[in-house]
Amino acid sequence: MRAGEFPLWFRFTEEGPVLIETIEAARYSAALIPWPHAPHAGFMLARDGELLMAVNRDGFVRMSPWRARDGTEGIGMYHVSGGGLWQQYTVGAFVLPAPGENPVALLYRNDWFLYRDIPPPSPRLWAFDAYSAEPVAFSLPSLDAFPPEEGWDLDVLRMGGSGHWYFRAGRNADGEGANENEGRRETRLLRTRSLEREGESVSLAAFHDAARPRPLSDAPPPLREKLAAAFAETAPGFAHVVSPGFPDGRRFSAGGEGPELYAFFSPGAFLLAAQPQGDAAYVETGSPGLLPVRFSLPSLPESFVYTGIGMVEDTVFATWEERVGFSIGAAGFMAIRPAELAGRGIDF
């Protein structure tokens, strides 16, 4: 694709991302259903100059610099479908388990909004491999200690501020893996320093604490400075940050009840941040006083919001959803090359 100053809009469908003429074409194009069962960009990761999405009920989407032998340049978009298995389950995590490894998505069965008599997913872990046309089944010893064949389902995998990975395993007391609203439920809350090792039990308080946004003081200094600059002209809030330097999505709190930001951070170079309604800021190293460049992403229809942001070279990608309460209708992403960022020497 070659994005320009006018946005390219893509909507998630059963066949993968489809280009639509305008965002208005997405209105009323999909039924509103509870978020665990709706296609949407659940998680985003960055690595090696490319952007990766784990799409709920679908598979993976990869954005990567593309150059043909004749010198033609653009952004390559690759869709890797998870097939029928992914269509039944919810994506609960998307992480880089260790440096140099492929990113891995965790599937689980979500019964909170709609109970379906299906077993926990097996395999539950799927890796994105740039050389495979479909997701690749993956194994992690810490999670494999809770096999789905014995009714175990894992719905959380995240890295906490302590540097440990935290995950939650649950099953019915009879091991059948039935709806957790029926009968007795056995739940294990665990953490591990390495996903190659067995997890250790933690308290509910410790597990919840690991899920809270990290204080801004815990962010690497370049990120802390740029987030502070992005929040400088608004009330302090918290930010979801995607960065090549993080093995998962991170949340940082600046304190207060200010705006929610979705941010993409290139270590030592720049921060791009946007609010759900599209107000955006770009903060780069070397700008006087880290002065943000303020601009707006393309406007969205009523009840639509932006839910994430990233960059590949000088192209901005922002995910969006039609959201009403806990339900999602249409969802997809937008690609644009904002005039405000032209020629700014973006460095990855």
Query: Which residue type sits at 282?
Result: Y
What tokens does 169 get?
Answer: 């395993």
Exposed/middle/buried for residue 301 (C-beta within 10 Å: 0-12, 13-18, 19+): middle
pLDDT for 257-268, tens place per residue?
A: 777 899 999 988
First to last CA, the chain: 20
Mean of the pLDDT values across residues 153-176?
Answer: 88
Domain boundaries, the chain: 8-60+213-341
**How many whole angstroms separate alpha carbon 283 and alpha carbon 227?**
8
What tokens does 314 get?
Answer: 């000088």
Give the closest residue to 298 by CA, choosing from 258, 328, 335, 259.
Answer: 335
Q: How many CB atoms lie within 10 A of CB 340?
A: 13
**How many whole angstroms separate alpha carbon 207 and alpha carbon 106?**
18
pLDDT for 267-303, tens place per residue?
A: 888 999 999 999 999 999 877 778 889 999 999 999 9
Please list, in sequence order, all residues whose beta carbon lies within 8 angstroms of the beta carbon of residue 21, skipping any fewer than 6 positions away. 9
Confirm if 228 and 217 have CB atoms less than 8 A apart: no
pTM: 0.91
**How many whole angstroms separate alpha carbon 255 and alpha carbon 266?**
23
Mean pLDDT of the chain: 90
Q: Give the rounded percent of residues in the chain with a pLDDT score beyond 70.
A: 94
Mean of the pLDDT values across residues 36-45?
Answer: 95
